[in-house]
Amino acid sequence: MCRRRLALLALLAPWGGSLAAQEPATVLQRMEERLDSMQRVLDARASAAVLASSTDTVVAGGLRIVTSSGLRRMAQAGANEAWQNLVGQFGPSVAGRATIPAIQFGTARAAEPGDADIRQLARGFEQAAAQAIWRTQGAEVLNWLRGNVPTGGISPAEVGDLAAELLRTPARPNRACYAGETMACAAALGILVGADTLDAWFEPGTWPRLAGMVYGELSGLERVARERCMDLGDPSACRSILTPARVLPPVGVIGRQYLVQLALQSGGASAFERLTADPGATIEQRLAGAAGVPIDTLLNRWSAGLRAAPRSPAASYQELLLGLAWSGLLLAMALRGSRWR
């Protein structure tokens, strides 16, 4: 308390004359408030100094990892491995000129755990950086992938699931694609397809069922078209409600990611640079340029990969039942002339 009073007196001295007319209690209160304010500023500066002394930044190529001094060794090891993987994935020229935001790892006072998994950490750094590279340099391809960044390889199990999806989806090109017909695979993936994607992908007999899957906010005219398509099978009504934005390609995003993966693997170190080099190129031109082979060759490799992928017996049995069900349904529709509703 004595020290606080002495501090107050020291602060009062320069303004002794101007404060003489004021009540001593009021003056002391004001000066105490000022001291408290100064103390808060000093505390904030001390906290910032401690924080600054306990944080660190490690650099590996274009990667910057903001971390604590206690995590520096771990962060550096993970960043080094991640950068090597990024160079291998995108090529040295692309990775070298990429603008990757700094990645925060750990808190200011965090320490390295005893069971640190450097490989898993590197994988996290790599995925974060890969997303930044795709969004800034491969936006057109990313749009074709419907915003799903291909950060990592498609596993054999996922390829097997993709093959199962291709066989169980009742779309025009799928069975032919699985059998190895190149143009059918292109259609299933949404490549080399004209403006009439609905007719290219699905039989007219399936349109009423597809219309029944359209949900969300619809205008009055759209609701009428949806009902006419479902109830009457009116082709014009079906086309008006089953727009390209509402009808997804027969093969999902994983199938497109797998095709991109094959293109980058085939093309080598500069494949990603060729994939994103020409902003005016079509998706098939980009993929062929990245792979260094004609698009037909790349599509043949894609379908061959699906046929070679391991598939569980349970999945094959289910697909057999689905195939029989679809065959029976389509046969009944053909014999009776009815619509699928």
Alpha helices in 202-338 (DSSP H): 207-211, 220-232, 235-241, 253-267, 271-275, 283-291, 295-308, 313-336
What is the Cα–Cα distance from 76 to 214, expressed in whole angstroms? 50
Sheet hosting strand 55-60, strand order edge to edge:
55-60, 63-68, 103-104
Q: What is the pLDDT of residue 207?
A: 92
What is the Cα–Cα distance from 72 to 76, expressed in whole angstroms? 6
Q: What is the pLDDT of residue 136?
A: 85
Q: What is the pLDDT of residue 148?
A: 85
pTM: 0.68
Ranges of residues in the chain with a pLDDT under 50 are: 1-22, 46-51, 53-54, 314-341
